[in-house]
């Protein structure tokens, strides 16, 4: 994130020239209007969430690092990825570290969310475990807490055998037409046609197809669109 993006973590609430029941969310350094909302809307600044997260991470007992490739911030939304290199799964080629994503928005598109996933070291593909691991979610109006993050990581690790078995199974199973159709409907028909040729059906593993899709989401998409694709890929492969 460059210096201009960093400044986006500090926003202000103002009500100048607006009816009493409305206020504006503005960018502090430029006074740019981000959104007009009702007075009841509770602003949850990115800086506040990141500070709370860092405090909990410092006490969770696990090594972590942030990944700029899978993180972004703009006027409306933020996504921050952290990896836990000691909490690992694996496939036949690479270790796969547990990750988590912190989401926040200023445009009412989503509340604060904390979602588990992974990153494959050999190619730095990121993914989410939407179907397997629990996730935090909170609308801005109800507050949010990272308390007991260490316990949540422990609970996530308890699902590792199930996730590992799913990875092993995907490595064994060949891609069939049913899966290709599911990817076309759940993720993208154009992308399905792009990442697998007709002659490969039945000849490559489902895990290889999965990694082609996550590679596209991780390396060819604007970071702001990665989350949607990752969630849909997770659904298609039941991860």
230: Cβ contacts below 8 Å, ≥ 6 apart: 117, 126, 127, 128, 214, 217
Name residues whose C-beta falls within 8 Å of residue 184's C-beta, 6 or more positions apart in sequence.
192, 193
pLDDT band at 2 (very low <50, low <70, confident <90, very high): very low
The answer, yes or no, to whether residue 207 has pLDDT greater than 50, is: yes
Residue 5: band (very low, low, confident or very high) from pLDDT cuts 50, 70, 90: very low
Average the pLDDT over 83-88 and give the result: 95
Range with lowest mean pLDDT among 24-33, 139-148, 217-226? 139-148
Q: What is the pTM of this model?
A: 0.83
Beta strands in 3-148 (DSSP E): 11-14, 22-27, 33-38, 65-73, 77-90, 95-105, 112-120, 125-128, 136-138
Cα Rg of the chain (Å, integer): 20
**pLDDT digit string, tens, across residues 47-78:** 888 998 999 999 998 999 999 989 988 888 89
């Amino acid at each position: 994130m460059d210096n201009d993006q960093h400044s986006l973590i500090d926003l202000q609430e103002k009500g100048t020239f607006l009816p009493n029941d409305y206020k504006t969310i503005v960018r502090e350094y430029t006074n740019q209007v981000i959104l007009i909302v009702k007075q009841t809307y509770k602003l949850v600044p990115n800086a506040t969430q990141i500070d709370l997260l860092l405090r909990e991470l410092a006490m969770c007992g696990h090594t972590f690092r942030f990944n700029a490739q899978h993180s972004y911030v703009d006027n409306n939304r933020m996504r921050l990825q952290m990896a836990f290199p000691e909490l690992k799964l694996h496939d036949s080629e690479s270790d796969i570290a547990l990750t988590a994503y912190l989401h926040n928005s200023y445009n009412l598109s989503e509340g604060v969310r904390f979602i588990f996933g992974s990153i494959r070291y050999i190619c730095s593909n990121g993914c989410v475990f939407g179907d397997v691991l629990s996730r935090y979610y909170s609308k801005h109006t109800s507050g949010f807490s990272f308390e007991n993050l260490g316990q949540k990581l422990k609970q996530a690790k308890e699902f590792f055998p199930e996730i590992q078995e799913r990875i092993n199974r995907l490595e064994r199973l060949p891609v069939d037409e049913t899966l290709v159709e599911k990817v076309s409907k759940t993720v993208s028909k154009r992308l399905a046609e792009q990442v697998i040729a007709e002659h490969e059906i039945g000849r490559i593993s489902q895990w290889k197809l999965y990694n082609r899709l996550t590679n596209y989401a991780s390396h060819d998409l604007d970071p702001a669109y990665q989350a949607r694709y990752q969630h849909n890929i997770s659904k298609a492969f039941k991860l």
